[in-house]
Amino acid sequence: MQSTDDKTHRNAVHAGSRRRQGLKALAAAALGLALARTVPANAGPLRLAVDIDLNGSGVAQALARGFARDTGLALELIALDAQAALDETEAGRCDAVLSASPMRASALLAQGLLHDARTVARLRWLLLGPRRAAAGGVGPDAKRSGTAGAGAAGPGAEAVSGPLSTDAVASLQALEADPASDRLFLIPSGHTATGDLAAALWRQAGLSTPVPWQQSVSLEAASLLEQARQRAAWALVGAWSLPPADLAGNPAAQRAARAGADTGAAAWGRVVDHDPRLTVPLQWLRSFRSRHPAARLFADWATGPSGRRSLARLPGVVAGDARAPERRPT
């Protein structure tokens, strides 16, 4: 049992910590307002290109709201595909870009066409797909539960299930070896961060690109998550896209998975999560052809404490450059 004095002391420590955090936030906001006064009133909004594939993450929107709150300065968010966002910035039609395509960004940096590269956040993807297969199919990290008799899975069907994996490459290699004819992997059409990540994983798994069972889909009518769920297909999806019922440790998701196992149905959902290869840096890069006076101010703000606070509550987003040791896509 804790004494009343211990509880009082702990509460006082927590209150002091909250006060210090509040004072730091106020100081940062005051500094932001002071620096914002150095930006001419006729400068116009900072034009920030954003990979359209990341729209659902809320990162750019959260940064725009926080920056406007702290400095009174506006951002104009311009959603483009991954390559167009970089090209428009290089040409000076956008002042800067938020890119989650490291290889594309690195190519322009190496040519000296963009500069001031900084990591604003790290974004987490998951591999979704069927958690069970029938008629002798081999699933990622699968554990065969034995040959079933006639039942919901069909005569002679073999239930395949397994714990959540943290190895996307091994899972894709197992999927490649699966003789099932109905395997399907969906990726967004065009140049996207998700497509770039998938291609990097194919290469690491020793698979040809694109794989024969890959299909490009438009996201105009429905999200990648919705289309993959409807078609019981495989897909790489940003963790920010999943509803709470699909997140790790959620009782509703666990009950749904058990129900699928009990009926022999194919349980669709998370197959791989928390593989470091599925975490990608979100980079800020500036154009040499644009000299917007708020560009450096925004970059300093976004990569500092105020920017991190703006991203703190976004699922699947780790603000700043904190990272675990990782095996980077090549």
| pLDDT exceeds 60 at position 177 | yes
Q: Which residue has the higher pLDDT, 12 or 44?
A: 44
Mean pLDDT of the chain: 78
What the chain holds in terms of domains, given with CATH numbers, is 22-123+280-319 (3.40.190.10), 124-277 (no CATH)
State the average pLDDT over residues 235-242.
91
- Checking 245-250 for CB contacts under 8 A at 24+ apart, the result is 246/270, 247/315, 248/164, 248/273
The Cβ-side half-sphere exposure at 229, using a 13 Å CA radius, reads 12
Instruction: Find the DSSP H helices in the chain.
Output: 4-36, 59-71, 82-90, 102-110, 168-177, 193-204, 224-231, 251-263, 295-302, 305-311
**CA nearest to 211, candidates 164, 162, 241, 178:** 178
Span 5-42, pLDDT tens digits: 665 656 655 555 556 554 444 444 444 444 455 555 55
> Which of 12-21, 114-123, 195-204, 307-316 shows the lowest mean pLDDT across its residues?
12-21
pLDDT of 300? 95
Question: In Å, how far from its chain's centre is CA 179?
Answer: 30
Say if residues 277 and 169 touch (Cβ distance below 8 Å).
Answer: yes
Its pTM stands at: 0.75
DSSP assignment letter at 112? T
Can you give the pLDDT at residue 272?
Answer: 94
Q: Which of 110-114, 278-282, 290-294 has the lowest mean pLDDT?
A: 290-294
Per-residue pLDDT for 70 more than 90?
A: yes
Cα 210 off chain centre by: 22
Give the residues across from 124 on adjacent strands.
Answer: 279
pLDDT at 7: 59
**Percent of the chain's residues with pLDDT above 70:** 67
pLDDT for 76-93, tens place per residue?
Answer: 999 999 999 999 999 999
Point out the least confidently predicted range of 62-66, 191-195, 256-260. Answer: 256-260
* Residue bearing the bigger pLDDT, 27 or 44: 44
Q: How far apart are CA 193 and CA 98, in angstroms?
A: 11
H or E segment at 206?
none
